[in-house]
Amino acid sequence: MRHIYSLAGSGALNNFICIEIIVLTNLVFFASVILLWLAVANFFTIRRPLPALERSESVSILIPVRNEEENIADLVLSLQAQQFIDKPEIIFINDSSTDETAEKLQEAKDGGAQIKVINAPELPNQWLGKPWALQQGYLQAKGEIVVTLDADVRLTSTAIAQAIAMLGERSFISPYPRQIAKTFSERLIQPLLQWSWMSTVPLRIAEKSARSSLAVANGQFFLVRKSALDEINGFSAIAPEVLDDMELARALINSGARGGVADGSSLAQTRMYKNFAEIKAGYGKSLWKAFGSKGGSAGVIAFLFATGIAPVIAWFSGNPLGFFAYEFIVITRMLSAARSKSRILDSILHPISSAILIYLIIYSWRARGVVAWKGRTL
């Protein structure tokens, strides 16, 4: 009799597990439909560059640099080639570089480049290097529009003028540069940057919203009205923030400013990392902060598993909804890739990309306070 009860109990447990798997698969499929809808909507509605026209606004360009000797010459040429803006104020802030960055900047000045160079004072407590450098530039900036730019970004000759046109009446805008990915590890990870918000955030709603949780920004190329920066005392609002770009957007929104992300793939491009070691170090310094808390990171890991790995498991287990969920997610990746000018066929590797990003999130939390970035421990 006990044996019969045992079999009955085992059968009930198996039935329960099967029902749970079916329910979870249905939820994953439903989530994939929502992501696809958002990706399609954003593909057609994301702000895109307008034709270049002469701009009357005065512009200050802030470039914080730390150990960027290999980027200075090309970046200066890129900035000097800007059209349709009148004599922009170009300010380089040298953040205690230990290579030949200072010498390269002096060479550019000696060669006739109209640039200002500021040596950032010693980094105080409660500040991180990039916000501190940007604050020094902000304190001297005179332009109506402040542009922040990473040293490894290359602009087209009309990039800033076209970005100002996209800014319109808004307080800030972040034209998302094209992310160059050459090695296999770059191609697996870098496209997830744009996909993460292309498929989850209703962009046109977000740029009008007072909810800072909907903020999307990329500090590689960011435009903000000086008056909006003044409202938050410049970059002091994000003094200790590792994820300075997102926190700046949130601070601006919380102060009443409005803005958002735009398609900047035809205006700017950059190659953030060149191999997996650089990817690991770069993401290791920031991912732990990106999602707010360990609970937030756990939620993102669950999301990545549900949208990247679970559909394939369900598909190979014989559930057709798993196949359709995988296909829908791949389509969202393809839409993001098409808009950002990255490799569309790499989208089919989304499950592998998701698994690697899960690893990087866990690594980031484990390495917090240990990871060194450009000679500083974060």
Task: For residue range 303-320, list pLDDT tens digits in order.
Answer: 999 999 999 999 998 899
pLDDT > 90: what percent of the chain?
A: 83
The domain boundary residue, chosen from 273, 291, 306: 273
Partners of residue 175 on adjacent β-strands: 262
Per the document, the length of the chain is 378
Residue 9 located in a structural domain:
no
Provide the token pair at 372.
């060194």
Check whether residue 28 and residue 102 sit in a common domain.
no
Residue 360 located in a structural domain:
yes
What's the pLDDT band for 13 if we cut at 50, 70, 90?
A: low
What whole-number distance in Å separates Cα of residue 208 and Cα of residue 174? 14
Contacts of 209 (CB under 8 A, 6+ apart): 253, 258
Provide the token pair at 225.
């009205």
Check whether residue 171 and residue 94 sit in a common domain.
yes
What Å distances lie between residue 315 and 27, 47, 137, 301, 312, CA to CA?
Answer: 14, 36, 53, 20, 5
- 3-class DSSP state of 223: strand
pLDDT exceeds 90 at position 18: no
At 20 the pLDDT is: 57
Whether pTM > 0.85 for this model: the answer is: yes
Q: Which residues of 34-51 are buried (b: 16+ CB within 10 A; e: fewer)?
A: ebbebbebbbeebbebee
347 CA to centre of own chain: 18
Provide the token pair at 222.
């960011």
Check whether residue 347 and residue 258 sit in a common domain.
no
Residue 165 located in a structural domain:
yes
Residue 12 located in a structural domain:
no
At 291 the pLDDT is: 80
What whole-number distance in Å separates Cα of residue 217 and Cα of residue 278? 22
Give phi and psi for 30, each to the nearest 5. Answer: -60, -40
Check whether residue 164 and residue 289 sit in a common domain.
no
360 CA to centre of own chain: 15
Check whether residue 290 and residue 233 sit in a common domain.
no
What's the pLDDT band for 376 if we cut at 50, 70, 90?
A: low
Check whether residue 68 and residue 163 sit in a common domain.
yes
Residues 160-180, mean pLDDT to the nearest whole number: 96
Range from 17-31, 40-54, 154-168, 169-183 carrying the lowest mean pLDDT:
17-31
Task: For residue range 224-271, list pLDDT tens digits in order.
Answer: 999 999 999 999 999 999 889 999 999 999 999 999 999 999 999 999
The domain boundary residue, chosen from 232, 256, 273: 273
Residue 51 located in a structural domain:
no
Check whether residue 257 and residue 293 sit in a common domain.
no
pLDDT exceeds 70 at position 33: yes
Check whether residue 292 and residue 201 sit in a common domain.
no
What's the pLDDT band for 294 if we cut at 50, 70, 90?
A: confident
Check whether residue 224 and residue 318 sit in a common domain.
no
At 17 the pLDDT is: 54
Residue 115, domain CATH: 3.90.550.10
pLDDT exceeds 60 at position 97: yes
At 7 the pLDDT is: 44
Residue 53 located in a structural domain:
no
Give the total number of structural domains in the chain: 2
| CA atoms lying within 13 Å on the CB side of residue 253 | 22
CA angle 310, 312, 313 (to 5 degrees): 65
What Å distances lie between residue 371 and 240, 242, 275, 363, 374, CA to CA?
Answer: 16, 12, 17, 10, 10
Query: Is the Cα dihedral 96, 100, 101, 105 positive or negative?
Result: positive
Check whether residue 244 and residue 296 sit in a common domain.
no
The domain boundary residue, chosen from 273, 307, 337: 273
Check whether residue 135 and residue 245 sit in a common domain.
yes
Instruction: Provide the domain limits for residue 323.
Output: 24-45+279-373
pLDDT exceeds 50 at position 352: yes
